[in-house]
Amino acid sequence: METLEIMKILAQGEDSLNQFKKNITNIDALAIEIIAFSNTLGGKIFIGVDDDGNVTGLTTEDVQRLNNLLSNAASQNVKPAVKPAVNPLSEMAIINDQRIMIIHVPKGINKPYQDKNGAFWVKNGADKRKATSREEIQRLFQDSGMVHADIIPAQGMTIADIDMPYFREFFQKRYGESLDDQSVPLSQTISNLNLGKNGELNITGAVLFGQSPSSRLPSFIVKAAVFPGNTLAHDTYIDSRDITGKVSEIFQQTINFIMSNTRQVQGEQSVNSLGLPEIPRIVLEELVANALVHRDYFISAPIRVFVFSDRVEIISPGHLPNNLTVENIKAGNSNTRNPVLASFAYQILPYRGFGSGILRALENYPNIDFIDDRDGNLFKCIIKRT
């Protein structure tokens, strides 16, 4: 790293990507730092620097000891061992005539990592903490691609909870044959389609085909509200609704809610015309479908839709998965968080799974901002109203 870049980081202080240590003598402490960075976005450990960013320096003996400590920690005290291709690398720098070590920890490729006692560590802003909740540990495995929320059991929902007329119609449309003509029991058909197992529905089966998914899965709904101004601080709201049902029903009702609470624009049309929606329907369809298909179903929280005087916000639980960024998705890149649900969605929603939805929304209405809030673990679409 260049000296000016290092000094700028030291002046800015610790954050989620940069940690300062005056010295490290304990192999377990170093392993925990490596684990926390590896389980999140990677980062740098500056050794020979105090918490305030002041350079304290290292001796030659310190450097030799730290290099040995680093090698042993990465291979023996991090489980699974950090692969050679992404080993933490150290470099030396001279700042204010003092020697410091900078350890570069890449984002891990075999998440989740844990210490020798089986504890999972993650970054929490400038600090680190032990991941303890079931949902958070599941998300670490989700990041690795080892587990997907859309196929976990759906809180005791069974094939008795399926909306059979709806499922029959879907089956006929998708497979070109009658569900009643199948030679296997319904429970086996559900298992074969990866919608459940042993007569129990998974999340995909429940939210797509359940009669009343919100009775058992009350968090997987849309909470919508309309506010008179442009902040949530108002004491009153114009309209509010909990939108429940199957994904197809939630989709249609959410679109209708937004359109009924935004304007029709006359433009150059005659006074007798109905006008055009200020936000094209195709834009809302793409963004709402993306929220329903790509939200993080490990998080027990609803999708939120807020209509303000100057914008519409669609807020999904879960930040962008893996290495996706806002720039990536605006370029058409995609990474499916819920692959089973997505495989059915294209016949239920206007969703294709090509990564083209965001592109199509922006093409039809460029006035959209996207915020990937990794600390808040949410993704926000902000549609500006004109």
Model-level pTM?
A: 0.72
The pLDDT of 52-75, averaged and rounded, is: 93
Has residue 267 got a pLDDT over 80? no
Instruction: Report d(CA 346, CA 353) in Å as an integer.
Output: 7
- Select from 321, 304, 301, 295 the least CA-distant residue to 145: 321
Ranges 91-95, 111-115, 354-358, 372-376, most confident: 91-95
283-342: pLDDT as tens digits:
999 999 999 999 999 899 999 999 999 999 999 999 988 778 899 899 888 778 899 999
- pLDDT of 357 strictly over 90: no
* Separation of first and last alpha carbons in the chain: 45
Q: pLDDT per residue over 208-263, tens digit each?
A: 999 999 999 999 999 999 999 998 877 788 999 999 999 999 999 999 999 999 99
Q: How do beta strands 18-21 and 196-197 pair?
A: unpaired
CB 69 within 8 A of CB 34: no
The string of pLDDT tens digits covering residues 7-29 is 999 999 999 899 999 999 999 99
> Is the previous residue joined to 80 through a cis bond, with omega within 30 degrees of 0?
yes
- For 141-165, give one letter per residue: b (16+ CB within 10 A) or e: bbbeeeebbbbeebeebbbebbbee
Angle at CA of residue 84, ends 80 and 85, nearest 5°: 110
Task: Tell whether the model's pLDDT for residue 84 goes beyond 60.
Answer: no
Of all residues in the chain, the percent with pLDDT exceeding 70 is: 95
Assign 373 a pLDDT band (cuts: 50, 70, 90): very high
pLDDT score recorded for residue 382:
98
The pLDDT confidence band at residue 265, using thresholds 50, 70 and 90, is confident
Size of the chain in residues: 386
Number of CB atoms found within 10 A of residue 289's CB: 22
> In the chain, what is the greatest distance between 2 CA atoms, to the nearest angstrom?
85
Share of the chain above pLDDT 90, in %: 69
Q: What is the DSSP letter of 323?
A: T
pLDDT value, residue 353 = 64
| In the predicted structure, residue 386 carries a pLDDT above the cut 90 | no
pLDDT by residue (tens digit) across 186-195? 999 999 999 9
Task: State the pLDDT confidence band at 47, using cuts at 50, 70 and 90.
Answer: very high
CATH number 3.40.190.10 is the correct assignment for the domain at 222-384: no
State the Cα–Cα distance between residues 27 and 16, nearest whole angstrom.
21
Amino acid at 160: A
- Own/partner pairs, 82-90, CB within 8 angstroms, 24+ separation: 82/34, 82/38, 82/108, 82/113, 83/109, 83/110, 85/109, 86/38, 88/34, 90/66
Q: What is the pLDDT of residue 168?
A: 96
Assigned token pair, 316: 């999904």
Alpha-carbon distance of 90 to 105, in angstroms, equals: 9
> Which range (103-112, 219-228, 297-306, 351-360) has the least confidence?
351-360
Give φ, ψ of 179 to 5 degrees: -65, -35
What was the pLDDT predicted at 37?
A: 93
Q: Give the count of beta carbons closer than 10 Å to the beta carbon of residue 273.
A: 11
Least confident of 49-53, 54-58, 375-379: 375-379
pLDDT at 311: 97
What pLDDT is attached to residue 61?
95
Q: Does the pLDDT of residue 67 top 80, yes or no?
A: yes
What is the C-alpha separation between 362 and 330, in angstroms, rounded?
A: 8
> In angstroms, rounded to a whole number, what is the distance separating the alpha carbons of residues 320 and 377?
9
3-133: CATH, from 3.40.190.10, 3.20.20.60, 3.40.50.300, 3.30.950.30: 3.30.950.30
Q: What is the mean pLDDT of the chain?
A: 90
Q: What is the pLDDT of residue 133?
A: 75
Q: What is the pLDDT of residue 24?
A: 95
Domain residue ranges in the chain:
3-133, 149-213, 222-384
> Does the pLDDT value for residue 204 go beyond 70?
yes
